[in-house]
């Protein structure tokens, strides 16, 4: 089973991890399909080096041959279809960013009375004891969010993405100061 894969551009710096190796696409057993809106694309150079970091599970005690296949719609920069196209800048957010192996494990009894943990709200210890809020990122320039996806491992229930902005006129849900998975 192909559990997940992360494509990394080794020729660029990651915007949220401040290191070489821009994480630009992720997929997995949920068969994530990355489709940018018309007029947007991931610009890259022919000299860029890409790496696929993957996690493969073999759930049976027998060897198997695995093939990873992916399709890319490629638009050459000189093509009329590329005229006016805007490049996307991957922003990789993670509960324990910039951990190079971003797997967040919880332990029995670490959550609330419902047996679930909504991190960091229900953490028993200060999740920011070193002062770094690894699950937060401050937007460093104007932009438009064009695509988003979340990924959870076995036992995970969901992912949430919130935007806090001073002076925003958005009337939708606000980031909770503390919440549980029951919504209270």
Q: Are residues 100 and 72 in the same domain?
A: no
Q: Are residues 83 and 124 in the same domain?
A: no
The tally of domains found in the chain comes to: 2
Instruction: Using the predicted structure, report yes or no on whether residue 183 has a pLDDT greater than 60.
Output: no
Domain span at 120? 94-136+154-184
CA distance 174 to 171: 8
* Residues in CB range of 60: below 8 A, 6 or more apart: none
pLDDT at residue 170, as a whole number:
63
| Phi, psi angles (nearest 5°) of residue 16 | -105, -10
pLDDT at residue 129, as a whole number:
86
Q: What is the arithmetic mean of pLDDT over 12-25?
A: 90
Closest to 68 (Cα-Cα) out of 82, 55, 59, 77:
55
Instruction: Using the predicted structure, report yes or no on whether residue 111 has a pLDDT greater than 90.
Output: no
Provide the whole-model pTM.
0.78
């Amino acid at each position: 089973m192909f559990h997940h894969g992360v494509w990394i551009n080794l020729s660029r710096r990651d915007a949220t991890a401040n290191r070489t190796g821009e994480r630009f696409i992720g997929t997995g057993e949920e068969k994530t399909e990355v489709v940018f809106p018309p007029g947007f694309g991931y610009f890259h150079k022919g000299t860029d080096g890409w790496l696929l970091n993957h996690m493969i599970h073999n759930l049976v005690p027998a060897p198997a041959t695995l093939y990873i296949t992916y399709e890319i719609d490629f638009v050459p920069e000189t093509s009329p279809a590329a005229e006016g196209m805007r490049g996307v800048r991957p922003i990789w957010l993670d509960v324990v960013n910039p951990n190079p192996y971003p797997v967040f494990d919880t332990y029995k009894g670490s959550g609330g009375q419902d047996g679930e943990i909504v991190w960091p709200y229900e953490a028993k210890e200060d999740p920011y004891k070193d002062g770094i809020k690894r699950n937060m990122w401050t937007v460093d320039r104007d932009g438009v969010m064009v695509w988003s996806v979340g990924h959870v491992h076995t036992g995970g229930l969901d992912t949430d993405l919130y935007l806090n902005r001073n002076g925003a006129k958005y009337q939708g849900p606000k980031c909770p100061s503390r919440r549980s998975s029951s919504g209270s």
